[in-house]
Amino acid sequence: MLKPDANINLPCKIFLSQEGNTYCVGRGIPLENLVSLDGAKGFGFNRSSVMAPLVQQLTANNLITRIESEDIEFISKRKAVIDTTKLIVYGILYRRFRPTLNAILLDSEVVRYLQSKGTVPLEGNRLRFDPKTVAKFVEENGKAIRSMKASLLFNPHKAIDENSKLDDEQKERKKQITRKFIDTIENDTWFLFNYVRRSSDKVEIVQRLDKTVSSFMNKTNIADAIAFMLMELVQNAETEHFKYIASKDNMARVKGDGIYELLRDEEFRQRMKERAKTNKSLLHLVYHFDNLQDTSNSKKTRIRVSITNKGRMDVSGGASGKGHGRRRKEMSLADHLQSDLESLGNPMGMVYYSYLEEACREEKVSLESNFSIDESRNETTALMTVTI
């Protein structure tokens, strides 16, 4: 479990959204000119490492649109990649949670009545009650708010305790994550919730709120699944990456599964890393977000995670196409993993992908995947897209 002040040792470019750019300029925070892997220009930060809370806060507050990391290898940074992936997806879930909760409260009988009287102020999709009134309510009703928080946590925590697949440490971690969802609820929402407790349909509303908290808790399984699946893809990409370097410089004659034996030799692996550094032959890891800026409950956020390596993996049977003057071959990631099931380098790929598919299906979250070869660049890219 990450500590609040944990440092993630992952070199990365952090591209700011317009909101993030405005935020930093307004506070005099110096920015750098950045160029993305696809040639797009933007402003942001180039860091050799980042603080864990910063990654999550930037995502949850819509201050970034893209994170890119490039290096000669990522296997030694396994924990950093997994932690970064989870924090990014958690941050997006925290951002989606608030408008989803507010939409349920705004649908209650008493709030619809108050809206008809013009006494529930909205600014876009955000509640905007008089700050002094809300502050006074929070100060005078601390016990009631704690009770409301406890009621929303009761069923999710009960489900966690009854989950026999989790050990005690995993259960506590799940509870901690769920509590953080509740902690993201703003005071205006608690003020509105107080009205709903007196509504004629309060039982139905509370049941919907309970289901929402449980649903978002379950969506954290998707974050975990993406992280572990990504590391499998990173492992495959790195193997092909080093195989490409070895064959290009005639450092080794590699056939079939022989590369896996060679890569177990630390001396050979070190030679590959040194040659990759000399040739500036890098793996590219990218996190990209769409519709993160929109807090409307009806709009969904799309998360795209990809890993690109030099060298061409086998996509026989995949569809071919031409785009922007490049020759490309594509197939679904699932089909590629299935065809690669017997490979010594990918023993768990299909297992993790099935876990990800199941986690998305249970929460009705869209999952798309793509595995493609860019023949003109001699590059392979594995891509996962999740729409929450």
pLDDT for 139-185, tens place per residue?
Answer: 999 998 999 899 999 999 999 999 998 999 989 989 999 999 999 89
CA–CA dist 353, 357 (Å, integer): 6
> Which has the closest alpha carbon to 213: 159, 274, 169, 139?
159
Domain spans in the chain, listed from the N-terminal domain onward? 97-218
Please provide the average confidence, as pLDDT, over all residues in the chain.
83
What the block records as the tokens of 82 is: 């997994």
Least confident of 20-34, 65-79, 233-247, 291-305: 291-305
pTM summary value: 0.84
Percentage of residues in the chain having pLDDT higher than 90 = 34
Closest C-alpha to 2, from 54, 42, 43: 54
Instruction: Note whether 226 and 386 are within 8 A (CB).
Output: yes
The tens digit of pLDDT for each residue in 124-141 reads: 556 778 889 899 999 999
- Give the model's pLDDT for residue 331: 78
What distance, in Å, lies between the first and last C-alpha atoms of the chain? 24
- Render pLDDT for 330-361 as a digit per residue (tens, 0 to 9): 877 877 777 665 555 555 777 888 889 998 99
Q: pLDDT (tens digit, 9 = 90+) per residue, 191-241? A: 888 888 777 888 898 899 999 999 999 999 999 999 999 998 998 888 888
Mean pLDDT of 245-271: 70
Which pLDDT belongs to residue 59? Answer: 86
